Amino acid sequence: MALQWETNRALQARMAFALVLVVVLPVTFVYAFVLLMNTVGVELLTFATEREWRGRFYVEPWLAVGAVAVGFVAQYLLCERSALRAVGARRVDPDEYPEVHDALVRLSGIVGVETPDLAVARTDVPNAFAVGRRPSHATVVVTTGLLDLLDAEEIDSVLAHELAHIRNRDVSVMTLAYFLPSLAYLVAIGAYLVLVGVFKVLSGFRHVDDDGAKGLVVVVVVLVVSAVCTMLVSAAFWVGSFLLFRLLSQYREFAADRGAVAIIGDPSALASALRKLDDGMSGLPDTDLRDADGGIEALYVAPIDDYQFGEDRELISSDLFPATHPPVGERIERLRDLAREAEIR
């Protein structure tokens, strides 16, 4: 007897908690910089002007919330386009990949969601992911490497896995969860470019008189300290949000695996697909995997982060950060448990 589709209450609870943090953390990020300006910033002003500053910086809560809301709206509207561009994928018409399109239409009918668009990325890295603002506006992306590697039943199981993500709505949550890591990263990069610019300007000076040297030292100290503090704050929030992002990602993979089995009724097909994908990527050069990453490694059906760092891959991907996905072996074992569960029913 096949498994029935079940609403995953535990996943819903995790997504609700994640959404709260996704909203709160960016606002906290803004006020962390306000605090930074009222401590380090005030001291730098005192140092630069040689007089005490008693004023304090302040940001109205409505302004901070409004700015974050604008960022979320931009993320929400541009998420699909950005994800497709990041991996070099393009949406394809039904006549280009008719068998895949037909499978996607058939499986969407089974799971009860509107058929998502199909996009294909031309890369040897065998993988797939789903992205979208809501279940009625989603895109399933597959790579040519996956289509070449898997048989028809295995491709169906992967498509079902991605449709389960769409049905569970965790695709939308993951899309919004990318906002703070992206924001923190951009701010840190801006601070880093300021540092680079300072040192490039300094390298161009050959002789400065005493008054000019004093002014230059003040400017350099203010810029360097500001940039370093900005990078530290950004890094702290990037790490915190990324940890949350990855922990949510792990749980949702188990839920989507179970959902895929409920859709196609065959745990062995997905287990075989996961094993092939994992083995297929392990033999690829690290450069190919980095190119396929695109910053969306947590969205893929099979993990690629374990293969990106050569001999130190486990230290970086698992010890410093939680893995984006549960171990493939554990997922396969759970699929076998589902097969036994279906037989008992």
Residues serving a catalytic function are: 162
Residue 331, Cβ neighbours under 10 Å: how many?
A: 22
Token look-up 């100290």 returns: 221
C-beta of residue 208 within 8 angstroms of C-beta of residue 248:
no
Region label for 292, one of left (φ > 0), alpha (ψ between -120 and 50) or beta (otherwise): alpha
**Nearest-angstrom CA–CA distance, 285 and 125:** 10
**Nearest-angstrom CA–CA distance, 187 and 149:** 40
C-beta of residue 287 within 8 angstroms of C-beta of residue 309:
no
Token look-up 């730098």 returns: 44
Q: Which residues contact 193 (CB under 8 A, 6 or more apart)?
A: none
**Tokens linked to 156:** 């169906």
Over the range 150-171, which residues count as b (16 or more CB within 10 Å of their CB) and which as e? beeebbbbbbbbbbbbbbbbbb
Amino acid at 343: E
C-beta of residue 177 within 8 angstroms of C-beta of residue 241:
yes
Q: Is 96 helix (H, G, I), strand (E, B) or coil?
A: coil
Q: Which helix (H) or strand (E) holds 149?
A: helix 144-149
**Nearest-angstrom CA–CA distance, 154 and 11:** 25
**Nearest-angstrom CA–CA distance, 32 and 237:** 10
Per-residue H/E/C for 37-67: HHHHHHHHHHHHHCCCCCCCCCCCHHHHHHH
What order of strands is seen across the sheet that includes strand 128-134?
89-91, 117-121, 137-143, 128-134
